[in-house]
Structure 1
Amino acid sequence: MRVLLLGANGFLGRYVAERLLADPAVQLTTLGRHDDADVRFDLSTGSPGALSRFLDAVHPGVVINCAGAIRANARDLTRHNTVATATVCEALRRSGCGARLVHLGCGAEYGPSPSGSSTGEDALPRPGGPYGVSKLAATELVLGSGLDAVVLRVFSPVGSGTPAGSPLGRLAEAMRRVMQHGDGDLRLGGLAVQRDFVDVQDIARAVHAASLSAAQGVINIGSGRAVKLREAAAMLARVAGFNGALHEMEPPSPGSRMIPQQATDSPGSPGAQPAPTHAPYPDGCGIWQQADVRTARDRLGWRPRIGLEESLADIWMEAACRI
């Protein structure tokens, strides 16, 4: 099976590429904006015609779209998430390759959910920020394209390579700094937020399964369990062997995120840092999100295998290497 992977150098794309390369039946070609791709092509500015001609030359049986942006202004999110997906869909319509499209969406497309609920694929999407809006628009383009296509709505990815700007990435980096200078305390805010974390290796398995299946429409990919950041922070501390105290700040308002700071004896002490503030959680999904993953089980034969503690150990291993 010949597979064309878009966005192979990204957080998720790297794991998808690794998974596909381990399958001897797969002939993998990568396409992206950087020099390490087999073919250099910017989906946000390249024309559908040029991409279509490349598809006709390579003739893949499956196209996997892991390309996109997470942290950018609304204009760039639209270019890299929505316009780029429109280019892919139009190129596939023009091409004679007849490839199946596996597109990676995200849980942020759903927006805030009632606490205690599990979000199924039939939920009405109400994204709470520009990122979710740009990804939802991309999903709608895929679903309305008439192509043989499936959208995997990935909830909160975690594991080795987790971006340093993410809540868990920031926490690991804060622990690293404290431990590097001797055990101390951390002051944390926004720990009441709950998210459905799913390991990147499990996500790669889901993408592989989707590329081999005939499933269409939207399929959630998550653990099926919401975890408080408070619980994840304590778990990461155990994994890291962090002996300091985790001081939780005042309860945050709904939709706040965790911002770690090193605790100090007094505001005027040398090296003192301001108390953490609460800012909107970057995915715009409020205080709670949990995926209903029964469709992935029934249509892809997929279940998550890797627990959060193992994912956090991978995050810490990377952070510890910087000590």
Structure 2
Amino acid sequence: MRILVLGFTGYLGGHVVEHLRALPGARVFGGGRSPDAVINCAGSTDGDPVTLAEVNSRGPAVLCAALREAAPSARLVHLGSAAEYGPGTPDTRVTEASATRPVTPYCATKLAGTVTVTTSGLDAAVLRVGNPVGPGAPPTGLPGRIAGLLRAAGPDPDAVIRLGDLSAYRDFVDVRDVARAAVLAATSPGPLPHVLNIGGGRAVPVRELVRTLARTAGFRGRIEEDGGGSARSGAVSWQCSDIAAAGDSLDWRPSYALEESLAALWAATSVRPEGGRAP
């Protein structure tokens, strides 16, 4: 089976390729081949609205047009975002049938990409991914940024890490579980629903994630909240996905507990004595 992975050098794409290479009979390409399946991991979480639209909205449109011409029978798996749903209701999980109410350019551009893929007429499925966490998390996301701050602070008991408001709830999912879901969706023999939620299925206080990672790191200083925070996530105080459909369609469920994901993230950021980084 020939599988083309777009965005394979990125955080999610790198883990997807790692899972695919362990799949018997799979041939993984970064471009230039006629594929049996395409996994689109390309996307942007940062940038001005024009940049976000170019990557998150126009990118999937160009891809769909190219596939209609070159490989109309290929399975397309596109990584969307749970942020497309917008603000959630406390104690309520969103299903794939829930209304979408994007509140930022990032959310809106990701939703536009999803609409393009699901209405393209291709054999396509969108995985609406929660907040990915785990080894290799980039500093542009909260878990990776916190890990970097903890690494810089070291064991100093007088260290102070100042963060924004940590009162929000998020649905964290291990990046390796996301990669496994993408591989299952790309190789599933039957038709799939147009949209599937991929998350941990649990709303976790962001404050809990930060404190757990701090304990994992052996941090002895103080963490202070100043009330500020990310404009991209600040408008959404609660986020949790119903992941039952992914279980029914892909026989997929998350396999890593949050503590395991954070331990793997911390281990991956460890600095070797000679100055290199852990694998």
TM-score by length of 2: 0.91
Partner of 1:236: 213
Q: Supply the distance in 1 between the matched residues of 2:159 and 2:45 (Cα, whole angstroms).
A: 32
SS in 2 for 1:101: strand
Q: Supply the distance in 2 between the matched residues of 1:281 and 1:308 (Cα, whole angstroms).
A: 25
Identity of aligned residues (%): 44
User: CA deviation digits over 1:180-203, x for unaligned, max 9?
Assistant: 656534344312111000000000
Question: Cα distance, 1:163 vs. partner?
Answer: 1.3
* Counterpart contact for 1:194–1:227, Cα < 8 Å: yes
Partner of 2:246: 296
Unaligned runs of 5+ in 1: 32-53, 250-275
Unaligned runs of 5+ in 2: none
User: CA deviation digits over 1:73-94, x for unaligned, max 9?
Assistant: 1111111111111111111111
Q: Supply the distance in 1 between the matched residues of 2:27 and 2:161 (Cα, whole angstroms).
A: 48
Q: Supply the distance in 2 between the matched residues of 1:187 and 1:6 (Cα, whole angstroms).
A: 36
> What's the C-alpha RMSD, in Å, of the aligned pairs?
1.8
SS in 2 for 1:24: coil
Paired residues for 1:83-94 under 5 Å? 83-94=58-69
Partner of 1:29: 29
Question: Cα distance, 1:284 vs. partner?
Answer: 5.7
Aligned length: 271
* Counterpart contact for 1:113–1:286, Cα < 8 Å: yes
Partner of 1:246: 223
TM-score by length of 1: 0.79
* Counterpart contact for 1:115–1:288, Cα < 8 Å: yes
* Counterpart contact for 2:155–2:219, Cα < 8 Å: no
Paired residues for 1:300-315 under 5 Å? 300-315=250-265
Question: Cα distance, 1:277 vs. partner?
Answer: 4.9
SS in 2 for 1:84: helix
**Poorly superposed stretches of 4+, deviation over 6 Å:** none
Q: Supply the distance in 2 between the matched residues of 1:194 and 1:67 (Cα, whole angstroms).
A: 26
SS in 2 for 1:282: helix
Question: Cα distance, 1:96 vs. partner?
Answer: 4.6
Residue among 14, 20, 34 paired with 1:59: 34
* Counterpart contact for 2:156–2:221, Cα < 8 Å: no
Aligned letter for 2:206?
A: L
Partner of 1:71: 46
* Counterpart contact for 2:72–2:122, Cα < 8 Å: no
Q: Supply the distance in 2 between the matched residues of 1:186 and 1:68 (Cα, whole angstroms).
A: 30
Paired residues for 1:197-216 under 5 Å? 197-213=172-188, 214-216=191-193
* Counterpart contact for 2:163–2:228, Cα < 8 Å: no
Residue among 105, 126, 130 paired with 1:155: 130
Q: Supply the distance in 1 between the matched residues of 2:269 and 2:5 (Cα, whole angstroms).
A: 28
